[in-house]
Structures are given as C-alpha cells and as structure tokens.
Amino acid sequence: MRVLGIDFGTSNTVSMLRMPDGRLRPLLFDGAPLMPTAVYLNPEGQMLVGRDAERHARVDPSRFEPNPKRRIDDGVVLLGGQELSVPRVFAGVLQAVAVEARRQLSGNPDQVRLTHPARWGEQRRRLLSEAARQAGLGNPQLIAEPVAAASYFTAILRAAVPVGRSLAIYDLGGGTFDATVVRRTPAGFQVLSEEGAGSAGCSTRTYGRPRRCSRVPPAPTSTCRAWRSTRT
C-alpha cells in the first residue's frame, strides 16, 4: 500500500510517502522537505503557496497569509480584498502536496493520513477534511499529531513502548507549542492529557509586517497536577 502522510503545520507542512516495501520518501518542494504553510492570492485569482507565496508577499502583503492554520475559526480569510473560505485556503497548500505526490507515484496514493492538533474538536476536523477533499485528496484518515509522533517513534524508529506505558511528547513549532501525554493501548495510542499555547514561538519572516515573538504562558495549576499524576 502506498500511503501519503501530511503534517499540516502552523508554519511549515511536511509530507512523506511510505512505499509498499516500507521505504519512506519525503516530498520535496523547491528542493526542501519543509514547505512553508503560506498562501498568496495573485490579482488573477491564482493561489500561490509555500516559497512562491513568500516571494510574492513582498509585493503586496495584503494578498498574503503566512499561517492559514491560525485562521481555522475565522470562517473566511481576506486576501487582497477577496474573501475565501478557510477550507479553500487550506486546500491551496494541500493541493500542492497532492500534485507532488501524484507526480512521484505516477498516480494517486492508496491512503492519505493527515495530522491535526489533539485539541481540535469535530468542527475543526470537519473543515480540515473538507479542505483535503477540495485538494483532491479524497477522505483522509485524520490522526492527532501526538499520536502520529508516537506511532512513528515505535513503528519506524523501533522504540519499545509496552502496552500500558506512556510517552510525553512536545511539539515546539515556529508559532505554537503543544505538550501531550499518550498511553500505549492494544489498538495504538490514546491521548491522556494535552496542553498547548497557540501563540508561542517566534517567526523570523516579516513580509512587511512586524515580527512577533511570544512566550509560552505558565500552565494552569490543575494541569500541572494532572501531568504529575500521570504514570509512565
């Protein structure tokens, strides 16, 4: 089975193909495995993504959105005076992944797996699924990001995590920070506790806008108690 895995991140998107023999093949964009999760709507209505979007952002920042994932709850995104639905904006990035995957495979992948933050509820996941469909990726299997990380740790890196044991996973990105505890079960991994800061980190890209750096706020006392009580 040929599987396409997509980590649709706040700052960057990373995609990987797993071939039938188990080999992993990263998708490259402009020669790099990291594709900025950025979009730019040009005057002709064409959606540019990744580094193309970043390059055009210097011409007209009003047509540029560097972090579409942050706009998940906004309904629409204003680009150059035009309102686009959030799934449509997400789909611009995901379509670039779909095109490159088909080029490498000379066809469609047999399965698509798409990650999302563990704290995303049903409505946010539905929007992500709709974006994938608009991008031509069909109905992907949605996987919480820490579950995907834990699965990679055990299945690909061959780390031994017996059933009943737990892992603490943190994800410090360009604009967010998430920390999660997952427990190994006979069926895979289960999220036990999750805490995140949606405005943590520091982006070095400006595109004519002020650069914003922020700190991770202290966790609530109740969360600290819950983490300390989690057995590993």
pLDDT-derived band at 87 (thresholds 50, 70, 90) equals very high
Indicate whether 206 pLDDT > 50: no
- The DSSP-derived string for the chain is --EEEEEE-SSEEEEEEE-TTS-EEE--BTTBS-EE--EEE-TTSPEEEHHHHHHHHTT-GGGEES-GGGGTTSSEEEETTEEEEHHHHHHHHHHHHHHHHHHHHTS--SEEEEEE-TT--HHHHHHHHHHHHHTT--SPEEEEHHHHHHHHHHHTS-----TT-EEEEEEE-SS-EEEEEEEEETTEEEEEEEEEETT-EE----TTS---EEPPPPPPHHHHHHHHT---
pLDDT of residue 156: 77
pTM over cut 0.75: yes
- Tell me the mean pLDDT in the region 75-91: 97
**Structural domains present in the chain:** 3-228 (3.30.420.40)
pLDDT of residue 222: 47
Indicate whether 86 pLDDT > 60: yes
pLDDT of residue 198: 60
Q: Tell me the percentage of the chain whose pLDDT exceeds 70.
A: 84
pLDDT of residue 218: 53
